[in-house]
Structure 1
Amino acid sequence: MAHDSGGSSFELKAMLRDERFWKIAFQVITLIVVLALVSFFLSNLNRNLIQQGRAFSFSFLTNPAGFSIGESLIQYRPNDPYWRALIVGLGNTLSLVASGIALTTFLGVVAGVASFSKNWLVHKLSRIYVGLVRNIPLLLQLFFWYFAIYGALPQPENQIGVFGIAFLNNRGVYIPWASSAVLALLGIAATIGAVIAAFYLWQQRTKIRVETGTGGKTQTIGLAVLGLLWIAIIVFGMNWTIPAGVEGGGVEGGLRLSREFVASLTALVFYTSAFVAEIVRAGIQSVSKGQWEAARSLGLPAGSVMQLVVFPQALRVIIPPMNSEYMNLTKNTSLAFAVAFPEMYSVATTTYNQTGRPVEVFVVLMATYLSLCLLITLVMNQLNQNVQFKER
């Protein structure tokens, strides 16, 4: 028995000296403390609400909303329940987030790469853009685009036509679009799938060309076929409707992007892209000079050096902070309420003002933004794993 007691004591001491045990124990203790605090605050909240004559409940979400929403991706009427109104706000937020992330990535990468341009004008424009835009508050930029730029466009009677396929006036921007929501979703899904497939094919092509100095022909053909297939789906599969100006002003057909939406999107993209450009610049600078010199010694032109050698290595530095910028863009969409765009926060504000349920509404609001940010983090972490150097 003494031997067993000594063995158990030895195992306990060994476990207490094990760093892995303390890592797990710390996480468990932290979780317990957090759950205890949440339980305390929730019980205290519920007790205070009961004293005021109302318990914590989401039953109000089934009541008729009684207010209209100017823009909606789904059908909505004022007598629809509050939960549907919040879904409309979520859809508008998602439209800002999705289009914002795509445009921000493109503009930010272009501006970041342009800072290494040998052309003096391109280099200076990139640095001025970054230095100017990221130091001006986003809300101020939002008002600038809404009032000074899009608000200064002419009335519908004198609207501006762009090659006969798009129109601009002070009510919004009109562009070609699919003839139905189903076809539009098909085009969006095809674009996302093509981007993901192209990313993996490009990675494989770059890896083969860097390791062997030649090759990558199969991946190049795959990229070409993928591009042609995407173009075929977009051009012929979406049954485009072209906006047309009508006599006396106004536009028929196509997709109307409201002044509130385009102002919010433009401000978000230009502001966030300035930070993304700095992330891209820092990522490119993290690649050692030896890699640049080795690529040039092979006779590669400047564009190929950046495309095949430098930028793929820079991605492992670029992607982690990009996750934070995408989440910042997602949370900053709440500022669009300042120009009356009915995104999630704007609809939620109207909801709690009418129902007198600020706590429940803000719980829904926080859960929504948290879920969106966690989804972005999940995707970016997976992308980050794919670009990291693999141990051999």
Structure 2
Amino acid sequence: MSADTLLQRINNYANRPDPYPLYAELREAGGVVRQTDGSYLVGTYHEINDVLHDPRISSDQRNLSEPYRVAEEESHPPAFIVLDDPEHHRLRNILTRPFGPPHSPGRVDAMRSEIAKISEELIDAFGDHKRIDVVDDFAYPLPVTVICRLLGVPRDDEPLFREWSTRMIEGADVVPGEDRTARVQASKEAREAMGDYLADLAEQRRGKPADDMLSAFVNEPDPAQRLTREELAVNAAILLLAGHETTVNLISNGVLTLLRHPDQLERLRRDPALMPKVVEELLRYEPPVHLVPIRTPLVDVDVAGTTVPKGVRLVLALASGNRDPRRFSDPDRFDPAREDSAHLGFGGGVHICYGAALARVEAQIALAALIRRLDSPRLTEDPPPYRTSATLRGPRHLWLRGRG
């Protein structure tokens, strides 16, 4: 097939179980390939990394030329992850204050015992069931519970977020030739509903702060570090979405990969201290985010000898870069002992994943608990059914047989 249909084929659900031959085709075609809709797909490690660090490449889709835009009347400002500096830097710094260093350096480490407790409670709930769904019974409820507790969302309201999240994710996929208007509109409505809920919840904490991030945002004493209601709504929604959806995939992809590699699973059982290296290799080998669907040059730029015009859409295939043989030795082999693990699993540059440290801790604790507690788990279906999104790729269900 022609390389200019690669993005369309990557988005084809039939290829969700194994998109890696398509990524190999992309790299063999030169790594930077113009698609049928005029966008450019980038699939080699060094070129992706260069684009992620290039200040001439914008994350703000308002810089896209007209043919690549989807008309959308925004009632809220854009989230920080789709803005460029200096506005991106301003918002990211504000959002980081109650979450990480330098203002809250112990926030993630302080969650370790709670993450472990939640993990054990979820596994206890398996009971004597001989068949469990790792996604619905464990990989989804763990990170959504963690991020909701960090933000201050009541436990009873956690189920509200699943439908909102699904619609938001589906709106991000880019399929050449497809009219995205309906999906983008549904995504916008879900984002606004989630944002309004979180802004209202934060407002209830004004003057009555608790130990959560929404309280910190709305009770910030420094006027220069305060978010408007609109900024809080859209950015809190993105933090909640990103704070659990990627980790769901990381955990479920991790379980699937380890069961497909029983030698590595047995090695990890014998030496649990290897878990941090296992998670890093999972982020390379089966990353939770496969595509960065929208970047755009602010000027004509050269990417691996290809001139990419100003204003066109660049789509970065992170998962392809993670399997680039010019960067990684024997890249299609799952090797937790790999010494060179400078993967693209969390992106890179100024937009590197805000919650990377938390995702790592959650995955390490969750996988360790499952390995320790599950007795001879076996896949009942391989490949499993996958989620719709090609951007956030992971199993929709992952059924195991075995006793907890």
Scaled by the length of structure 2, the TM-score of the pair is 0.32
Q: Taking CA–CA contacts closer than 8 Å with sequence separation of 6 or more, which of the two structures ends up with the larger relative contact order?
A: 2
- Give the greater-gyration-radius structure (CA): 1
Q: Determine which structure has the larger helix proportion and give its number.
A: 1
Q: TM-score, normalised by structure 1?
A: 0.33
